[in-house]
Amino acid sequence: MNVAKLHPASVQSAAMPSDLAGLDAWFDQRLDEKLAERAANKIPSLAIIATKGTMDMAYPPLILASTAAALGWNASIFFTFYGLELLKKDLGLKVSPLGNPAMPMKMPFGPDWLKRINLPVPNLVAGNLPGFESFATSMMEQTVKAKGVPSIKELRDICVESEVRLVACQMTVDLFNYRQDEFIPEIAEWIGATSYLGEAKQADVCLFI
């Protein structure tokens, strides 16, 4: 008769030390092993709060979330205030050079020495020259395309395909009198900040953009 099959607990306990000091060491080792096993099996999670609705600020949350998903993480983005523009069916995102002095204006074409030059644009010009925002947006779009970087829509589609949870702030929808049919159907939830913070609290990484 196989005693181990009938009494596995007794066989396991036989391997436990009988003295108190040895027993403490055994429990510590078992605890370390279980904690290491849990850490190895845990799926990392990322929670992002997206608040900006410009083209340049749309890239960070979508790139980070899609990259996390590609690494096997659970990722979600909570779109609130102007960040909801990133979920619109019709994307009309612009680059705003006004008040954005850190943004370099780069030439998307020409020789390499020209494309490497940062072209600082004074706020006086950016704010008063008609059509400058459209010009800056066009320059950014050409630069992105020339470098082979996906568009905002393509990145958003990648997030959807990668099962990134896209969450919309219902309070912002009510505040700005939006209609839900203005947004893409892939939105996972329409919730408030309280609900999303409960999810973000459990995330390994939480970012505000």
The string of pLDDT tens digits covering residues 164-174 is: 999 999 999 99
Angle of CA points 46, 34, 3, to nearest 5°: 145
pLDDT average, residue stretch 84-88: 95
Question: Domain 46-208 is classified in which CATH homologous superfamily?
Answer: DsrEFH-like (3.40.1260.10)
pLDDT in tens, 144-198: 777 788 899 999 999 999 999 999 999 999 999 999 999 999 999 999 999 999 9
pTM summary value: 0.70
Which of 9-13, 36-40, 100-104, 185-189 is least confident? 9-13
Domain ranges for the chain, please list them: 3-41, 46-208
Question: Percent of the chain at pLDDT above 70?
Answer: 68
pLDDT in tens, 49-69: 999 998 888 999 999 999 999
- Closest to 44 in 3D by CA, of 20, 15, 67: 67
Task: Give the C-alpha distances (Å, rounded to integers) separating 6 from 12, 14, 15, 161.
Answer: 12, 14, 16, 49
> In 10 A of CB 185, how many CB atoms?
8
